[in-house]
Amino acid sequence: MPESKMHVVIVGGSLAGLMHGIAVKRRGHDITILEQHLFSTREGQAAGIVTMEHSQKFLDHHDLLKDQPYAVNCSSVQILDKNLKVKLEFQRPMLMSSWNVLYYRLRANFDGLASSYCTQTPAEPSLHGQAVYDQGKRVNNLYPDKQKVQIEVEDLVDRLISTISADHVIVADGSASQMRHLLQPQLKHSYAGYVAWRGTIMESSVSDETRKTFQNKTTLHTTSGGYIALYTIPGENGSLEPGKRLLNYVWYTNLAADSAEFQQAMTDTAGRQHHHTLPIGKMRSQVWENQRKVAHEVLPQPFAELVDRTTQPFISAISDIDVSQAVFFGGKLLFVGDALVPFRPHVACSTNQAALNALLVEQRLAGKITLASWERQVLDYAKATRLRSVTWGCWYQVGYLSFFASKVRHLATLCGQSLRNWYIYLMG
């Protein structure tokens, strides 16, 4: 990416797309984000997000709303047994946010969208590029054309198809990326054999005993063939007031792909079967009622209470996909975030990967790294973190032998990357 003024199109307007839009816009380039969703208001996306080191660095550098806190500070991690005794506790402070909070914060920084989460939007310096967030647009095709990339775009309201020309394209259309399928059709999702049930409950909606059990800590409990993890995230409109915050949990359970339970869990209220995530509001009542019963059978009371009080659950089938390359069209197109490769959610690194990719794009624009170095770094992080997420899954969901085999692959990958990087460094 040269530093002369460019028009950059970003496919996908979620967190990864917005981070890249902000980073590139701040370098003085014009940005168009193409997002399939029809409206700026995004409800029901209160899933928890751990803001790790790259996410924090990105926000420290690019967020112009620094006086508005965006996360709950969880002090430590505790693992509880079935009698709620602490089996293990260690200090690991983490900043817990949510998709809603970060989406509206990034929108305020990208194109000045005002919302109940960010009522005051920052003033943009005149040297920044123009920002357009174009909703209701689906990219059907893209291809190189001389020094440009041509993008075939469908308007999802009037169904008209047009072509946009861009100097560069950044693909950030998520874990089920259609652009990945278009350009890398050999990469296929493989189901890992288990699902994640998710939900959020306002703190004030649960008993005092349950609130005391979690005590603003990241809390885990293991079961036969799975585990549940819980942490506190901001509430409605980003509220950090105790009682108005949300208790967010992820409950992993094994479900065979060919089982009736899996087919039923992934089929929505309209009878449509989903392959990756069954969205909020689409779960059939009987499915969730059955899961509530399971919760009371296998989970300690505080966790079972959370499941029992959840009114808007959703479920994701955990899957893996390999990663091969991040750069296409001679450097004119980059894959980033979950579109590059999604991780199993155990490691909570999806947003962290997006932030790292955006920070490295910024370094590339500034001429601090080469395109080859950008791709090497994003692929190193993607491959190592994907294997680490698989290793976590094997430990909790499969067994020791699978865990050790996966851990060996993870360590071998890290060693290989370190040796190669040392060689590159020594060769200058």
Give the strands of the sheet with 218-223, arranged side by side: 48-51, 86-98, 72-80, 218-223, 226-233, 246-254, 190-202, 314-320, 277-278
**Res 205 pLDDT > 90:** yes
| Tens-digit pLDDT profile for residues 290-313 | 999 999 999 999 999 999 999 999
Higher pLDDT pick, 357 / 423: 357
**Res 43 pLDDT > 90:** no
User: Residue 353 carries which DSSP code?
Assistant: H
- Give the pair of three-digit tokens for residue 373: 């170095």
Q: Cα–Cα distance between 333 and 11 in angstroms, integer?
A: 11
Residue 324, classed as helix, strand or coil, is: coil
Burial class (CB in 10 A: 0-12, 13-18, 19+), 159: exposed
**Res 44 pLDDT > 60:** no
- Give the pair of three-digit tokens for residue 190: 């493989």
Q: Cα–Cα distance between 282 and 314 in angstroms, integer?
A: 8
The helix/strand count (H/E) of the chain reads as 12, 18
Q: Would you give the distance in Å from CA 182 to the centre of its chain?
A: 21
The stretch 328-347 carries a mean pLDDT of 96
Binned at pLDDT 50, 70 and 90, residue 39 comes out as confident
**Per-residue model confidence (pLDDT) at position 129:** 86
The stretch 386-414 carries a mean pLDDT of 94
**Res 45 pLDDT > 60:** no
**Res 88 pLDDT > 80:** yes
**Res 409 pLDDT > 90:** yes
The stretch 390-397 carries a mean pLDDT of 94
**CA dist list (Å): 173 to 33, 138, 213, 308:** 11, 10, 38, 33
Which amino acid is located at 47 in the chain?
Answer: A
**Res 46 pLDDT > 70:** no
Which amino acid is located at 159 in the chain?
Answer: R
Q: Cα–Cα distance between 123 and 138 in angstroms, integer?
A: 30
Residue 92 backbone phi and psi in degrees, to 5:
-155, 85
The stretch 169-191 carries a mean pLDDT of 94
Location of structure tokens 């005149």: 126
**Per-residue model confidence (pLDDT) at position 269:** 95
The chain-wide mean pLDDT, for the chain, equals: 93
The stretch 6-22 carries a mean pLDDT of 97
**Res 40 pLDDT > 90:** no
Higher pLDDT pick, 247 / 216: 247
Residue 246, classed as helix, strand or coil, is: strand
| Tens-digit pLDDT profile for residues 256-279 | 999 999 999 999 999 999 999 998
Angle (CA) 299-302-305 rounded to 5° is: 85
- Complete DSSP assignment for 49-112: EEE-HHHHHHHHHH-S-TTS---EEEEEEEEE-TT--EEEEEEEEEEEEEHHHHHHHHHHHHH-
**CA dist list (Å): 222 to 53, 247, 366:** 27, 18, 47
Q: Cα–Cα distance between 170 and 384 in angstroms, integer?
A: 22
Binned at pLDDT 50, 70 and 90, residue 120 comes out as confident
**CA dist list (Å): 384 to 388, 396, 408:** 6, 19, 12
On whether the CB atoms of residues 29 and 8 are closer than 8 A, the answer is yes
On whether the CB atoms of residues 336 and 16 are closer than 8 A, the answer is yes
The stretch 312-339 carries a mean pLDDT of 95
**Per-residue model confidence (pLDDT) at position 1:** 56
On whether the CB atoms of residues 387 and 409 are closer than 8 A, the answer is yes
Q: Cα–Cα distance between 146 and 378 in angstroms, integer?
A: 26
- Give the pair of three-digit tokens for residue 98: 């949510």
Angle (CA) 376-378-380 rounded to 5° is: 65
Beta-carbon contacts of residue 360 (< 8 Å; ≥ 6 apart): 369, 374, 377, 378
